[in-house]
A = this chain, B = another copy of it.
Amino acid sequence: MATATRTRLSTTELAILGLLSYGEHSGYELKKVAEASVGYLWSPAKSHIYAVLPRLVTAGLATAREVPQRTRPDKRIYRITAQGRRVFRDWLEDPGAGPPNTFLLKLFFGRKTSTETVVARIERRRAEVEAELAEYRSIEDLVRDDESSYFGYVTLRWGIAQAEAWLRWADEILAELALR
């Protein structure tokens, strides 16, 4: 039975799948785990987590089991399925899957894929950032001496500074990964 992946999954769904790939968790725990790990680059509302989890179950990507507790409210613990792992891995390995801002999230889950995949993704994104930087530089030449565009120039330089930092970071990481 080929359970097709109907719609492509949202960032939140994939991030949750990723966290579940390290071990089973309840919604409540996932919120905590997310905050303590990916928190600074992805932190969903708890209601969103609770909304997503049942969808993962109906999509066959996770299973749920009820855990009754005496002193605490009952939990619903979610565990990733084999299909869930497959879908997550496909997403991780597909350089074009998902919105472009998933770069860091995928990188965060780098342990779940091969070093070559990670290197390829960084190189790919690096080329994009380099192209953006070149474009910014060409705009810079037009704006630099135009007093009325001063604040446009200031924001542009922000973009340039960030892009340059990005490239330096990428080169450092790529050099490191080459030694692994």
Contacts and interface: CB of A to CB of B under 8 A. Distances in A.
B159 A110 contact: no
A38 B158 CA distance: 13
A158 B40 contact: no
Interface stretch (A7-15, A46-54, A55-63, A166-174): A166-174
A157 to B, nearest CB: 6
A109 interface: yes
Nearest to A110: B151
For the complex formed by this chain, how many copies does it contain in all? 2
Contacts of A118: 151
Interface string A144-157: 00001011101111
A15 to B, nearest CB: 13
Contacts of A154: 107, 110, 173
A136 B173 contact: no
Contacts of A109: 151
A141 to B, nearest CB: 15
A151 B111 CA distance: 7
A73 to B, nearest CB: 31
Contacts of A175: none
Contacts of A110: 150-151, 154
Contacts of A104: 155, 158
Interface in A93-121: 104, 107-111, 118
Given A118-B151, A157-B172, 6 more contacts: A40-B156, A40-B159, A107-B151, A108-B155, A110-B151, A165-B165
